[in-house]
Amino acid sequence: MSTPKKIPKKYQPKGFEILHDDLDIIVGNKSPGILTVAAKWERENTVHGLLNQFVRKGNPRSTKVVHVVHRLDQATSGVLVFAKTEEVMNKLKDNWKSFNKTYYAIVHGKLEKKSGTIQSYLSEDEDYVVHSSQDSDQGKLAITEYTVLKEIDKFSLLKINLLTGKKNQIRVHLSEQGHAIVGDTKYGRPQSPFKNLFLHSAELEINHPHSGKRISFKARVPAYFKNLIEFEY
């Protein structure tokens, strides 16, 4: 597989730094604040919408589209992959559980157990709030593995291995441990002095849908992570 050409900065979609682009997939680093896909309150300015324009390369007659494989919350930054055909999308979705998804999170306080697994059943209510339960009838199984990498006075940096990918999973799991993610006004502290959510999709390791080769994509963390906790991310 040939190495994809570097995309000039002026063609990069705003809010999505393209890391890799080939015939099957397009991978990038999503900025915090931009939606992955359209929502009731925002139809146009989404990564999905921007990438549809990107693959059409200014041709108004083009019907080219990219296909959504997975999502990141609006406030979450990091690695996102899109498929260029429906076939590739289905292939990636079918194998999603076998891929490695690594996140960084900075949380309030210090965890008693420096590594562990959080497991519960998650369900979403009509207000789009996700609830956690130990009752298997109350939602879908969600499993989050974490390791504490560094602690400072009031905060801890965690590396997270996402074993299942449910909506708001990491945020809900850490919140119910009493260690909400810094800047999480939905599941943490409603009033936060931090403008950003300290949750970042740092690395995604997949099998390439065409070659089958295992490949890894890394997205650099936003500057505000380093400003809060210095670390070799």
Supply the residues annotated as catalytic.
73
Contacts of 184 (CB under 8 A, 6+ apart): 75, 171, 175, 192, 197, 199
Contact 159, 149 (CB under 8 A): yes
For the chain, the residue count is 233
CA distance 73 to 34: 9
Alpha helices, H only, the chain: 47-56, 86-94, 169-176, 223-228
Contacts of 154 (CB under 8 A, 6+ apart): 108, 109
CA distance 164 to 177: 18
